[in-house]
Amino acid sequence: MATRDLAAQARAFLDLHRPGDPGVFPTVWDAWSAHLAVAGGFSALTIGSHPVADSIGRPDNEGMTFDELLTRVRQISDAVEVPLSVDIESGYGESPARLIEGLLEVGAVGLNIEDTVHSESGRLREAAEHADFVGALRAAADEAGVPVVINARTDLFIKQIGDEADRVERAIARMRLCAEAGASSLYPVGFHTDDDQRRLTSALPLPVNAIANPAKGSRAQMAELGVGRISFGPLWQMNLAERATALLSDWR
């Protein structure tokens, strides 16, 4: 990890965000899963907060500390050489400068930042507030000299906030503010209808991240919808858990 050119890795990672030809970044949780994904031919990885928390016996939604997350990220970055992007949830109560510093120290060149503030009863940041946080992360990355790939996420859909009739429009407005603040890609997380996914990818000015279930759908389907980046959240780990349970069931 110490020999990496983090700025070059960040640029290479961003180049994999291609609307209509999306980069697929499997969501891993430890060195073993990272090795498995790299051996499968994937050239960048995401590190998911939910599967990492599960792997160390902590609950999701900032049930682990930022330092606990960094410990696992370092183990992964020591094991594989590909670009890594880390889900930092809503920031663990840390300052943007500390978040960027910590991620770069352990070899990560990208991050997810969501607008649900888990330490404050799960409230949703106001749109401008979330954009300001994204802007502060960008400023800290610029100060460090690494063009960190900032994947700005909104939870409007998974939390079903507000009227469904205008939720797509509100998500677009929220994500556009993040783009103006310095985001690299945009993540209106949720399983959308094809029509809603096309509305999001056509209206947003940056590559759009879509969550996928590796046991269903396909990269080709996401590409046709204009998606620029695909990750799996906790779903790869959950699918493996189901298969492991079935494998072990006859041995009880």
pLDDT in tens, 42-65: 999 999 999 999 999 999 999 999
Whether residue 9 is contained in a domain is answered as no
pTM of the model: 0.96
CATH number of the domain that residue 181 is part of:
3.20.20.60
Share of the chain above pLDDT 70, in %: 99
Nearest to 212 by CA among 83, 23, 32, 53: 23
pLDDT in tens, 136-166: 999 999 999 999 999 999 999 999 999 999 9
CA 30 to each of CA 93, 110, 132, 146: distance values in angstroms, whole numbers, following the listed order: 24, 17, 31, 24
Compute the average pLDDT of residues 100-117: 98
CA 195 to each of CA 74, 129, 147, 198, 246: distance values in angstroms, whole numbers, following the listed order: 39, 29, 33, 5, 36
Residue 52 and residue 64 in contact, taking contact as beta carbons nearer than 8 Å: yes
Whether residue 15 is contained in a domain is answered as no
pLDDT of residue 4: 86
DSSP secondary structure code for residue 38 in this structure? H
Whether residue 11 is contained in a domain is answered as no
DSSP secondary structure code for residue 165 in this structure? G
Residue 230 and residue 18 in contact, taking contact as beta carbons nearer than 8 Å: no
Whether residue 13 is contained in a domain is answered as no
Q: Name residue 71's amino acid.
A: T
Whether residue 12 is contained in a domain is answered as no
Whether residue 201 is contained in a domain is answered as yes
Residue 1's pLDDT band, with cuts at 50, 70 and 90, is very low
Whether residue 106 is contained in a domain is answered as yes
183: containing domain: 21-241
* Structure tokens given for 181: 């603040």
Domains contained in the chain, number? 1
Compute the average pLDDT of residues 64-91: 98
* Structure tokens given for 1: 């990890």
Whether residue 169 is contained in a domain is answered as yes
